Amino acid sequence: MTSLSDTERRAWLRLARTQNVGPVTFAQLIGRFGSASAALKEVPRMVKRGGGDELRIPSEDDAARELAGLAKIGGRMIASCEAEFPHGLAAVEPPPPLLSVLGHVTLLQRETVAVVGARNASALGRKFANTMARDLSDAGLVVASGLARGIDAAAHEGALAGGTVAVVAGGVDVVYPPENAALHERLRTEGCIVSEMGLGVQPQARHFPRRNRIISGLSRGVVIVEASEGSGSLITANFALEQGREIFAVPGSPLDPRAKGTNRLIREGATLTESAEDVLAMLRPMLGGHFHDPGKGGPGGPANGAGAEAEADQIRGRVEEALGPAPVEVDELVRICGASPQAVMIILLEMELAGRITRHPGNRVSWA
């Protein structure tokens, strides 16, 4: 693991906040150029090669102001290459480049289980979530959730004494929803608040899937207490499945729409969960160890891309011809174009920075 200098931390922040740069693109740029500072120098050239205009890149002053503002409220920023970054989240491919953290950073190093569910939760659902979180906390686990009303708030309240982490969709300094203001303040002093977003950023609909991905990534398993079909809790469950986490679902009445999602998860193989002991019985064999740290996302040696870049110039037209409005797997693009994966990845990276393509789950891409 690496400890970033102040200069490189600002560079990581600038690159992570650059227009069209998400976690996948960030990881590819670091892998290609070896550092965020080097990548920032190359990004404008890549955008032009990809057929785009100038990109919005935060200035050094912008980055310094955000870091200073976070420090002023008692927070700090942790990069995915640093030892204090949560091990489980570091193993997610790709991890979020940076996390803003308020509160007790050490909670991020402990074994964690997520407890999530409906915002419009029933009284019994909230009581169950509170009890479940308290019992998991008493067993030595940290409880993660999303600081939403309903099940999330009940879980945080139940676990406060033993340790709880709130992952939020806006800035760590933004109280949302307003009725959780007191809970937000308690989490700042007794727990931990985490976000990918910058200070002052108000949560928007597109931010919540990213928040949910972090919740599941932090956790050994995810407990779903109440979730209607199509709910955010089921999105968290889907991320957990992709990340190899355990899924625990609390059954409910077939007459309650809030039980539709959890009952379906049970039919599809989730562990039927009636108490914390059901969760502990499944996780106990794992609790003695730690996630293996693959060392991904950190600075490395720059890739030798001169040959791949020359090849990219020759096949750019083939890649553009093969792309369409329907998502296609990157491996299939490589096969169609008869080119090296490195060359195709360079072209896609340039086109993504230029805002011309969109990435989809399953390593697929399409025209934007």
Q: What's residue 2's pLDDT?
A: 75
- At 335 the pLDDT is 84
Domains in the chain: boundaries? 100-286
Q: How far apart are CA 240 and CA 215, in angstroms?
A: 9
Q: How confident is the model at residue 300 (pLDDT cuts 50, 70, 90)?
A: very low
pLDDT at 290: 37
Average pLDDT rounded to a whole number, residues 337-350: 89
pLDDT at 248: 98
For residue 333, CA distances in Å to 167, 184, 347, 356, 363 come to 36, 46, 11, 16, 11
| Fold annotation for 100-286 | Rossmann fold (3.40.50)
User: Cis bond leading into 94, ω under 30°?
Assistant: yes
pLDDT of residue 307: 74
Lowest mean pLDDT among 102-106, 180-184, 289-293, 342-346: 289-293
Rounded average pLDDT over 302-315: 72
**What pLDDT does residue 36 have?**
97
Pick the closest to residue 52 from 273, 351, 272 (CA basis).
351
- pLDDT the model gives residue 112: 96
Please tell me the predicted confidence (pLDDT) of residue 299.
33
Average pLDDT on 56-77 reads 97
Residue 195 to residue 35: CA distance in whole angstroms: 23
β-strands 271-272, 246-249: how paired? parallel
Examine the pLDDT at 288 and tell me if it is beyond 60.
Answer: no
Q: Which of 126-130, 189-193, 201-205, 287-291 has the lowest mean pLDDT?
A: 287-291
Contacts of 62-66 with C-beta under 8 Å, sequence gap 24+, read 62/14, 62/17, 63/10, 63/11, 63/13, 63/14, 63/17, 64/10, 66/13, 66/198, 66/199
Q: Which helix (H) or strand (E) holds 244?
A: none
Across 290-296, average pLDDT:
31
pTM: predicted TM-score of the whole model, two decimal places? 0.83
Q: What is the mean pLDDT of residues 131-135?
A: 97
pLDDT at 296 over 50: no
- Conformation bin of residue 360: beta by default, left when phi > 0, alpha when psi is -120 to 50: beta
Q: What are phi and psi of 360, to 5 degrees?
A: -125, 160
What does the pLDDT read at residue 54? 85
Residue 74 gets which letter from DSSP?
A: T
Say how far apart CA 94 and CA 198 lie, in whole Å: 19
pLDDT at 291 over 50: no
**Would you state the pLDDT for residue 298?**
35
